[in-house]
């Protein structure tokens, strides 16, 4: 999941440089991407409960 998110972020950040669009980091994990007239919200915490491991690997959130 994190690798996919990282690739997604890199892809859109690269596009934003050439297309003069906007990528905004909100707090520590949420991205607001404005590209080609569309707004995308990327937030790993919007998933279902228990799909992400905690930072220390102790339990599922």
Nearest 10 degrees: CA dihedral of 50, 45, 39, 4?
-70
For 35, the domain range is 2-46
Judge whether residue 16 has pLDDT over 60: no
Judge whether residue 7 has pLDDT over 60: yes
Domain presence at residue 36: yes
31 contacts 41 by C-beta, under 8 angstroms:
yes
Domain presence at residue 56: no
Domain presence at residue 21: yes
> How does pLDDT run across 23-42, given as a tens digit for each residue?
888 877 788 998 888 898 88
Query: Which pLDDT band, with edges at 50, 70 and 90, does 45 fall under?
Result: confident
Which residues pair with residue 22 across a beta bridge? 34
Domain presence at residue 51: no
Provide the number of structural domains found in the chain: 1
Domain presence at residue 60: no
């Amino acid at each position: 999941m994190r690798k996919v998110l990282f690739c997604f972020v890199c892809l859109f950040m690269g596009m934003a440089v050439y297309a003069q669009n906007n990528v905004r980091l909100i707090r520590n994990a949420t991205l607001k991407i404005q590209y080609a007239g569309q707004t995308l919200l990327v937030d790993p915490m919007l998933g279902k409960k228990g799909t992400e491991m905690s930072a220390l690997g102790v339990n599922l959130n």
